[in-house]
Structure 1
Amino acid sequence: MFQSFEATTRPQDGPPRLAALRERLLRAGVTGWLCPRADAHQGEYVAARDERLAWLTGFTGSAGFAIVLPDRAGLFVDGRYRVQARLQCAAEFTPVNWPETRPADWLRAALPNGGVIGFDPWLHTPQEIETLTRGLKNSAITLQPMTNQIDPLWADQPGPPAGPVFPHPTEFAGESLASKCTRLAQSLTEAGETAALLTLPDSIAWLLNIRGRDLPRLPVAQCFAILHAGGHVSLFLDDTRLQPGVITQFEGIVTLRPPEALEPALRTLDGPVRLDPATAPQRLADVLTQADIAISRAADPCILPKARKTEAEINGTRAAHLRDGAAMAEFLCWLDTRVKALCAAPDTNPLTEIDIVRALEACRVATNQLEDISFDTIAGSGLNGAIVHYRVTEASNRNLRPGDLMLVDSGGQYRDGTTDITRTIAIGPAGEDESRAFTRVLQGMIAMSRARFPRGVAGSHLDALARFPLWLAGQDYDHGTGHGVGSFLSVHEGPQRLSRAGTTKLEPGMILSNEPGYYREGAFGIRIENLVLVQPAPALDGADDRDMLAFETLTLAPIDRRLIRADMLTTDERAWLNGYHTRVRNALTPLATSATANWLQQATAPL
């Protein structure tokens, strides 16, 4: 955990690497370079070899990009990462608030006399390049595809991942790969398409009922595939990586071809070929265009079906959350004991953020069913909690102190489901500001949990429910309220989300996080997160005959009662919390050790 890529991305390394890149760009005859945090598959998680943005700048967040020019280097990050970017990067890299500042506008201001900006077409989507090109229209700035300019400078760049690929049983998936391929191929035929180019590893993993170990935290194999309208799939993957059982389930449906055969195979297709302009690399769009093959621009055909979980996936996710909740209860009981000792004698009973990460991960390992954690555990105490996606390192590790808030965001990957939970814990008596902010965040989380809404509603319609209590106090948070979650796949899964940008209609079977927060830079951070499942809403007596949906809360873990201002809660809010805690207690007590069972009685007592 702590020997991470961050160990090679010290802030002082940035300036000489930046200078070397500028010298190379000068020799190549270009003015600047686009450096995204991306790989050829455009996923959130990238292999160590693709961490070019971190290598160059020191910034290790999961989203962002840099634009390097001769006299400046802008690091574009959203609200989740602005504090982190300032802490991790040398002064030569200027954080830019994105998406508030568009890269085209920044370039126009920086290059009033024009210039040539190079980019690697494997690392950008057609949508990205077209948006930037439109933004630069009528300027003297042009874009130029090139081979990657950072790789030759990165002397110890890791090799490409080549982990094992193994079957994902139908008992967990709920549908065979033959059924999925037939169903999706029919949608291509109905759209008049001959094939679909699949570039997202989690889409391919879902479609073919496989999983892999190419990336940390995300159980996929990095590969490409072509789904043909007849239901056959061409998979571009080294067959030596396949574990027993994969070839058998592929028989008659999937043809294996080496990765280097992808571009030649694309050139032989008859169009139109579906290509998702938001997720495919520009390079593959160029290959089809240069071969004069018609492109049908449409969403990856796997994305929406993958989001609608089968009954098997739903039941597996419930089982995973019960197991994970028991592990969380053991951890929270352990933490409570350690906090009491810390507050009694801070100097003789120290407790660090790394101690917390290791203890929590050990509790999940003790289930004997953990495949991996679902993302690097976030354990931010005090001012570190205000860094939304903080990752503790040996350098940043902080001793907890009485009066701190401790924000712990974590999750597990199990064969039957993926979990993601955040709890904020009081380290001794909490201040008035902290308790009031915590209660407002809780009120927002409860409001979303209780929501009933008609079919056709999207996340953008619901996002304000979680923010309203904070807005009344002039407060807010700079991230979405919730993201989609996969089934033994990505902990951040689209297209569904609870945010102002969430336009996908919510449907039964979709799983999302519900995680409002509040962050005061230099002081503390608060977030409370449960996962929820979209379900048909229970009927109400006397209600209109309208088809309504609601959320089922999947996460099972106590919420710290010591931080709640009960006088701020309404009767309905108090009833929801007490009902939730009763459910948590009844579900987890039979799985808990005797010490944790006793602790659960206190932690879930009615307000």
Structure 2
Amino acid sequence: MRQTFDETTDPSFGAKHLPLLRARMAEQGLDGFLIPHEDEHQNEYLPDANERLAWATGFTGSAGAAVVFQDRASMFTDGRYTVQVRAQTDPALFERRDLNDVAAYLESAPKGSVIGYDPRLHSPDALVALKRAAQKAGAELKPVEVNPLDQAWGEARPAQPTAPVVPHPDAYSGEPHAEKRARIGQAVAEAGANVVLLTAPSSIAWLFNVRGGDVIRSPLPIGQALLATDGTARLFLDPAKITNELPQWLGDAVRIEATERLAEALDGLGGQKVMVDPALSSAWYFDRLEQAGATVVRAMDPCAIPRAAKNAVEIEGSRRAHIRDGAALARFLHWVDTTAQQTLPDEREVVETLERFREETGALKDLSFDTIAGAGPNGALPHYKPVGATIRRIEAGSLLLVDGGGQYLDGTTDVTRTMAVGEPTADQRHKFTLVLKAHIAMATVRFPEGTSGLQLDAVCRAPMWAAGLDYDHGTGHGVGSYLGVHEGPQRIAKWGTSQPLLEGMILSNEPGYYREGHWGIRIETLQVVTPAVVPEGGERPMHGFEQLTFAPIDRRLIEAGLLTPNERTYVDAYHAETLAKVGPLVEGDVRAWLEGACAPL
């Protein structure tokens, strides 16, 4: 029977599957084996066929790893998944450690041990530290030809997805793929390469103006491509994905080939300079190209920045998508503020209600990620999902945190609102208002060209730091245009990247506060980088953010006396714009409620 995976994956998977894995490891002479969460395409969200970590351990989170030895095993996750990993894995089988400690753990490997890894699942950048740690321990990190986990999984492993690859019209993309290919081909030539190897599904989707359905919650096609400097390309796809319209859409300059032909194509690149991104493409590609006699040019995926810096058509599409999504959110927030206050539903009903309102827009293609609804203490877990025995009913006197988004042809949304259930306490209002001040700081910041999200992060946190508070997640992540809800290279975080924030980049703004065991607060909107008005006397051009998300912020939780006059002006202006843009799409009781929710402070 083929296996499928969801948040309720059986914690007994380890007891069932580790013996099978260890037997296959022994056949290959391996004392240990590395199991990353990432798949061959470094995806964050995986098709069931690539949920190797879930099969071995039971853990289904989007960030994690395991190291399995013949006599012990360790599970590595980050702070977002503390509760989930406890619920989904067996503590008798897996020692639990922080995700940043994998390399340090390998330093304690037994001397002389052989630890296997699948080079298709690890980027060469990630392997550097792991190899160094194994060498320090006197152990060997050895690539495997055949993944012993895949062997152990056997016939129960799901088939690889074969969702059709379909055109994404220029009316949504804003630029024909022939122009994109010419532009990227020129960038490859300027980097001193003859051809670029693309393995990231988001780059495949963006470059060829296509979308698929191989990756959950993201309209991504799994494949690879070789793009030459003249803009011609070879696109490698499973033949089952190729629709009748695809060849005509791509034209004669793009040759569609079966995925099985990729290895042969790489072998034929001997003597050429091939650009590959060492952060996105697995070590297998580098090894294969070097064996073929190609010169590997290590460089950032040339599609990454053009994809992240949206054009005018994509930005306008995102505006439309967010207003449409805002109407669904208004209906949902009205329901929370009326019906739910009386019936006190559980988190699953909250999730289903929001998803139903999004579906009723008639334009929803999929969610952009699984909806988060945290009642009371569950809201203090930033990436909590309401599953199984953890599901709670909302309670009077507490808070409800809901984080969700939609995939629409014209844009991807992601929004978090925190709502009072019953009368909020003074402490809840105080903490909520501090988070709101942080949110406003990021929404209104002005910054010169070349500024990175790493530099901006402190601007958002400053109001909370002043009160002795902080949050342990990033302030903002990049968002795609009907692509992934998490998109690089842009982000806003204190451990972030030096990538400058460029005009057209869409990012989230989501500071929070989490009181473990009680409740959590997060306010999230999406915003796009735009040129900013420079006041009289200003000497340098500035960038700022245009708000894309329009959904009321719970006024009952705002302690207006803690806001500065400028902050109050911002809240009133934001609510006025929300009413103006979303109001025409709702009617009756929802419209009346929205008018009250958007009234001036």
Q: TM range, normalised to the smaller chain?
A: over 0.9
What is the match of residue 249 of structure 1?
Answer: 249
Quote how far apart the aligned CAs of 1:188 are: 1.1
Change in 2 beyond 3 A, CA 1:263/1:27 = closer
1:401 maps to which of 395, 399, 407: 395
Counterpart in 2 of 1:489?
483
Deviates more, 1:547-556 or 1:516-525: 516-525
Shift of 1:112: 4.8
1:119 to 110, 117, 120: 117
C-alpha contact 1:231 1:253 (8 A) present in aligned 2? yes
Please name the residue that 1:10 is paired with: 10
Distance 1:431 1:26, change over 3 A: farther
Structure 1 counterpart of 2:142, one-letter code? Q
Structure 1 residues 464-473 or 306-315, which shifts more? 464-473
Distance, in Å, in 1 between the alignment partners of 2:107 and 2:500 is 37
Instruction: Name the SS for the 2:148 alignment partner.
Output: coil
> Do the aligned partners of 2:107 and 2:134 also contact (CA within 8 Å) in 1?
yes
Shift of residue 386, structure 1, vs aligned partner: 1.8
> 1:149: which partner in 2?
148
C-alpha distance after superposition, 1:40-92 (max 9, x if no partner) = 11021110111111222222211111112234322222232233323332213
How many residue pairs end up in the alignment?
594
2:226–2:233: 8 Å Cα contact kept in structure 1? yes
Alignment check: 8 A CA contact 1:9 1:57 kept: no
Indicate conservation of the 8 Å contact 1:166/1:244, yes or no.
Answer: no
**Which secondary structure does the structure 1 equivalent of 2:181 belong to?**
helix
Tell me the alpha carbon deviations over residues 107-147 of structure 1, each in whole angstroms, 9 at most, x when there is no partner. 213x2534211111111111111221133344311111112
Q: Could you tell me which of 506, 509, 515 is aligned with 1:520?
A: 515
Relative distance call for 1:352 and 1:152 in structure 2 (3 A) is: same
Offset of 1:350 from its aligned partner?
4.4
Matches within 5 A, 1:39-78: 39-78=39-78
Quickly say closer, same or farther: Cα 1:56–1:433, change in 2 above 3 A.
farther
* Distance in 2 of aligned mates of 1:149 and 1:115: 17
1:181 aligns with: 181
Distance (whole Å) between structure 1 residues aligned to residue 461 and residue 8 of structure 2: 38
Could you say what secondary structure the match of 1:118 adopts? strand
CA distance in 1, matches of 2:273, 2:399: 55
CA RMSD of aligned residues (A): 1.7
Q: Deviations over 1:216-255 (max 9, x none)?
A: 2110111111111121010011344233432222112210
Deviation string 1:426-450 (CA, Å, 9 cap, x unpaired) is 1112233332221111111110001
Distance in 1, Cα, partners of 2:318 & 2:344 = 36
What are the superposed Cα offsets for residues 270-321 of structure 1, whole Å, 9 maximum, x if unpaired? Answer: 4210011111111111111111111001111100110110100000000001
For 1:151 and 1:8, the matched residues in 2 are separated by 22
SS at structure 2 position matched to 1:261: helix
Give the whole-Å Cα distance in 2 for the aligned partners of 1:291 and 1:97. Answer: 38
SS at match of 2:450: coil
Task: Give me the whole-angstrom Cα distance separating, in 2, the residues matched to 1:4 and 1:582.
Answer: 46
Query: What is the alpha-carbon distance in structure 1 between the residues aligned to residue 246 and residue 469 of structure 2?
Result: 51
Q: Percent identity?
A: 47
What is the CA–CA distance in structure 2 between the aligned matches of 1:350 and 1:148, rounded to whole Å? 48
Amino acid across the alignment from 1:128: A
Q: Secondary structure of 1:328's partner?
A: helix
Q: Distance in 1 between matches of 2:289 and 2:380?
A: 46
Greater displacement, 150-159 / 117-126: 150-159
Equivalent position amino acid for 1:150 in 2: L
Match of 1:66, SS state, is strand
Name the counterpart of 1:133: 131
User: Any conservation in 1 of the 2:77–2:99 contact (CA below 8 Å)?
Assistant: yes
One-letter code aligned to 1:106: Y
Alignment of 1:356-505 (within 5 A): 356-500=350-494, 501-505=496-500
Say which SS state the counterpart of residue 274 (structure 1) adopts: strand
Structure 1 contact 385–525 (Cα < 8 Å) conserved: yes
Tell me, yes or no, if the aligned pair for 2:275 and 2:296 is still in contact at 8 Å.
yes
Match for 1:540 among 524, 535, 539? 535
Query: Matched residues in 2 for 1:64 and 1:482: separation?
Result: 21
Contact 1:531 1:554 (C-alpha < 8 Å) held by counterparts: yes
Rounded to whole Å, the distance in 2 between the matches of 1:59 and 1:328 is 31
Decide which moves more: 426-435 or 41-50: 426-435
Conserved? CA contact 1:266–1:288, under 8 Å: yes
**SS of residue paired to 1:315:** helix
Could you tell me which runs of 5 or more consecutive residues in structure 2 were left unpaired when the two chains were aligned: none
Q: Establish whether residue 531 from structure 1 lines up as the match of residue 530 from structure 2.
A: no
Counterpart of 2:335, as a letter, is W
Q: Distance in 2 between matches of 1:21 and 1:429?
A: 54
Unaligned stretches of 5+ residues in structure 1: 342-348
1:521 Cα deviation from its structure 2 partner = 2.2
For residues 106 and 314 of structure 2, what CA distance do their matches in structure 1 show? 46
**Residue type matched to 1:428 in 2?**
G
* TM value normalised by structure 1: 0.95
1:283 aligns with 2:284: yes
Aligned CA distance change for structure 1 residues 18 and 522 (closer, same or farther; 3 Å): farther
C-alpha change, 1:26 and 1:435, in structure 2 (3 Å) is farther
- Deviation of residue 260 (structure 1)? 0.2
Give distance in 2, aligned partners of 1:202 and 1:491: 11
SS state at 2:390 partner: coil
Equivalent-residue separation in structure 2 for 1:24 and 1:397 (angstroms): 38
Contact 1:116 1:143 in 2 (8 A): yes
User: Is the 1:441–1:466 contact (alpha carbons within 8 Å) kept by the matching residues of 2?
Assistant: no
Query: 2:556 is matched with which residue?
Result: 562
Partners of 2:218 and 2:262 in 1: how far apart?
A: 23
What is the one-letter code of the residue matched to 2:199? Answer: T
Q: Does the 8 Å contact 1:82/1:95 carry over to 2?
A: no
Asked if structure 2 preserves the Cα contact closer than 8 Å seen for 1:381 and 1:406, the reply is yes
- Structure 2 length-normalised TM: 0.96
Counterpart amino acid of residue 293 in structure 1 = A
- SS at structure 1 position matched to 2:430: helix
Closer, same or farther: CA 559–228 of 1 in aligned 2, 3 Å: same
Contact 1:8 / 1:55 at 8 angstroms: preserved in 2?
no
Q: Give the superposition deviation at 1:475.
A: 2.2
Deviations 1:400-437 (A, max 9, x none): 11122111110011101110001111111223333222
Identify the residue that residue 104 of structure 2 maps to in structure 1: 105
Indicate conservation of the 8 Å contact 1:125/1:279, yes or no.
yes
Contact 1:267 1:291 in 2 (8 A): yes
Q: Structure 2 CA distance, aligned partners of 1:601 and 1:175?
A: 39
Distance 1:241 1:6 in 2: 24
Inter-partner Cα distance in structure 2 for 1:35 and 1:96: 14
CA distance in 2, matches of 1:12, 1:433: 41
Alignment CA distance shift 1:437-1:89 (3 Å): farther
Amino acid of the structure 2 residue aligned with 1:89: T
